[in-house]
Amino acid sequence: MTVEKKLIAFAIFACTFMGAVEITIVTTAIPSIVKDLDGFNLSSYLFSIYLLTSAIATTIFGKLSDLYGRKKLLQLSIIIFLAGSLLCGISRSMIFLILSRGIQGLGSGAINTLSMATIGDVFEVEERAKIQGYNSTVFSIAGLIAPVIGGIMLIKLSWHWIFLINVPIGILSMILIHKSYNAVESRSNEKLDLKGLSVLTIFIVFLIQAMSALEKHPFLSFNVGGLLIISIITLIIFAKIEKNVEAPIIPYKLFSKEMFVIMVICFLNSSILIAMDVYNPSFMQSIQGHSPIMSTVPIVPMSLFWVFSSFLLSKVIKKYSTKIILSVSLLVLAIGCFGLTLLRPESHPLWMGFYAAIIGLGFGGSFNMLLFVVQETVSKENIGIASGAVAFIRTLGQTLGISAFGLILNNIVSDYFKKFNMNIDTSTILTNTGIKKSDIVQSLFIGYNKIYITCFIVGIICVLLAFMLPSSKKLNSY
């Protein structure tokens, strides 16, 4: 690998670090923010608008990069992200902060898509597996240290500074991209399909809003079911528009049966990932009573074995078919999820670490392979929108996943206490002094166990879907 490639990889890692830090560091500052800005009733919008604008950016910037080149757009996306960060840092009202978070999310979604597309442009197939493995490790490390950094800043400085931490990292990324990214990028003569892009954006808005509302509203309510119907109608309109344009937003190859299977697996895979990130550390703290530092037990092994699996993938990626690699990787992932169902409140922490390592092995093969297959399916001219499609599907998977798993947990905890004729607010269960600690632990354990069982079932479904792929296709034959 050349020096230029290494510098580009480092720039991408820095971009990933920025995004991952921003996702988790804000959670530590929410109490201080809502108290300072008197905005407790609006606090959820700090996350929902970030998610929404990020999802929109994945498709828009993916297509724009195919038309106008990736280097300048990647730098622009970093500028947008940093501008949003600076605006968040100087916010003096909740509304201004929410709007600034929207700008931040727009830059984050663009960076995510363009980073994946850049990896597809610059690196060979074998190199991509290693780079994605390192990238996943950077994401995990950033998510791990961000709450610590945020806590220190809240004590020594103020919540405003948590949004400014990424400014020097972003500037460094821009310099490295400017100096090292020497790919020749020519402007396409294709016209941007503004009508299709606008309708697609409306579809994304309604779909994300419906998925985000699933945890708090019934499926048949307008907030969920109504918005889903509107999103489906919008999607049908979008499909009709795309049939009549010369340069559609989404390449026709992404609508094949094979790509549909890949995208469904990608969606389900992402839902399992968000469950691992959220509930594994919480299981150790809320159920087993370990200190926050012990939450590294499930995170570190998963990250390390994700990298190891990525290196292994780089060695076998051209030797075995997509079906074999994905099936084996997803089966390993499902086995790891099954292991989590065996955990008990008294289980030794090393068992959590062992099962997390198995899950990391599965993710290292499946998560990376799914992206590579989609990128290799389309031409170089469409690799941006292909990467954007993967980023969008992953966002949907994590959004629906966290809502669905949260719904499962809340219902199980509520049902547990209803047996004792108690109606409790599940959002305050950990601080409710009127409930026995043993009952809190038991109710949460049942809920977490059901989540792990659900993840195992989803993992098996992914394996079955992988069997539907062609038996002979290797990645270099796409």
pLDDT at res. 14: 85
List the structure tokens of 124: 């060979």
Mean pLDDT of 394-411: 82
Amino acid at 302: M
Q: Considering the domain 253-478 in this protein, what is its CATH number? A: 1.20.1250.20
- Please choose, from the candidates 369, 386, 403, the residue with its C-alpha nearest in 3D space to the C-alpha of residue 475: 369
Q: What is the mean pLDDT of the chain?
A: 80
Looking at per-residue pLDDT, the higher value among 323 and 35 belongs to 323
Determine contact, residues 191/247, Cβ cutoff 8 Å. yes
Query: How many other C-beta atoms lie within 10 A of the C-beta of residue 267?
Result: 21
> What CA–CA distance (Å, rounded) separates 216 from 218?
7
Is the per-residue pLDDT at 378 higher than 70? no
* Termini Cα distance of the chain: 24
Is the per-residue pLDDT at 129 higher than 80? no
Pick the CATH number of 1-180 from 1.10.10.10, 1.20.1250.20, 1.10.10.60, 1.20.1420.20: 1.20.1250.20
Is the per-residue pLDDT at 91 higher than 80? yes
pLDDT at res. 307: 78
Sorted by sequence, the CB contacts under 8 Å of residue 17 that are 6+ apart come out as: 138, 139, 141, 142, 169
pLDDT at res. 381: 67
Of the chain, the percentage scoring pLDDT greater than 70 comes to 85
pLDDT at res. 351: 92
> What CA–CA distance (Å, rounded) separates 20 from 277?
12
**Cα–Cα–Cα angle for 338, 341, 342, rounded to 5 degrees:** 100
Element (H, E) at 192: none
pLDDT at res. 295: 66
pLDDT at res. 57: 84
pLDDT at res. 251: 65
pLDDT at res. 283: 84
Is the per-residue pLDDT at 275 higher than 70? yes
For the chain, give the number of residues: 478
Is the per-residue pLDDT at 65 higher than 70? yes
> What CA–CA distance (Å, rounded) separates 159 from 150?
8
Q: Which residue has the tokens 């966002």?
A: 395
List the structure tokens of 10: 């480092």
> What CA–CA distance (Å, rounded) separates 107 from 375?
22
Q: Which residue has the tokens 């038996």?
A: 471
Looking at per-residue pLDDT, the higher value among 435 and 369 belongs to 369
Query: How many other C-beta atoms lie within 10 A of the C-beta of residue 130?
Result: 18
Please, which pLDDT band fits residue 451 given cuts at 50, 70 and 90?
very high
> What CA–CA distance (Å, rounded) separates 146 from 153?
10
Looking at per-residue pLDDT, the higher value among 235 and 141 belongs to 235
Question: DSSP alpha helices (H): ranges in 157-290?
Answer: 167-180, 194-213, 227-243, 257-282
Is the per-residue pLDDT at 478 higher than 60? no
pLDDT in tens, 191-214: 667 787 788 888 888 887 887 777
pLDDT in tens, 317-349: 777 888 888 899 999 999 999 999 999 988 888
> What CA–CA distance (Å, rounded) separates 100 from 421?
44
Query: How many other C-beta atoms lie within 10 A of the C-beta of residue 243?
Result: 9
> What CA–CA distance (Å, rounded) separates 475 from 477?
5
pLDDT at res. 135: 77
Is the per-residue pLDDT at 305 higher than 90? no
Q: What is the DSSP letter of 221?
A: S
Least confident of 8-17, 172-181, 295-304: 295-304
Looking at per-residue pLDDT, the higher value among 360 and 416 belongs to 360
Is the per-residue pLDDT at 19 higher than 80? no
> What CA–CA distance (Å, rounded) separates 243 from 241?
5
- Please choose, from the candidates 359, 4, 330, the residue with its C-alpha nearest in 3D space to the C-alpha of residue 178: 4
Is the per-residue pLDDT at 464 higher than 90? yes
pLDDT at res. 97: 86
